[in-house]
Structure 1
């Protein structure tokens, strides 16, 4: 989800930093950070594959799908999350007055 932000931070860190002999300190730290991103992506993709793409264990064969009584609350929560994701300004307008004193305190 934050891949674009991670890439921009890593590019900026690789470009700027304290000069050493041939590399600067931020370049070395960026290489380690990039390696951490790669390792975590591999770990996450392997976990996803094992959880969702693997064969179903025998102990889970008796599970049933979501009951009809729970479909309405789940649908409402998913709908609210989508509305908040696509139209965040409508919710920000509601909560903004409560945060104005905190945002203007530093000025």
Structure 2
């Protein structure tokens, strides 16, 4: 079963105008997983999260800036990236998350 290994997430620019983003990474594969950490500009997070998924499937990865979560200050989806099982063994890849004037770079690899 292939596994997406999320290695690092780098904050190039926060979505929030003042202070840290409250970054939430959600992974939708054969199981659901998530990781949370406050981040500011030019910080890198060593996520080290392994997420298995089916051989003939793909995994959805979302990056969010968690806010208060209600209608005046809803959580902000910063982007979505799909990882395919066919990427197994092809080395490290990167994905960009750039919605709402934020900029994040995720480095991952797919292992068999």
The structure in which a higher percent of residues are helix is: 1
Same structural fold, with TM-score higher than 0.5 when normalized by the shorter chain: no
Using structure 2 for the length normalisation, give the TM-score: 0.17
Which structure has the highest strand share of the two? 2
Larger Rg: 1
Query: Which structure has more RCO (C-alpha within 8 Å, separation ≥ 6)?
Result: 2
Normalising by structure 1, we get a TM-score of: 0.18
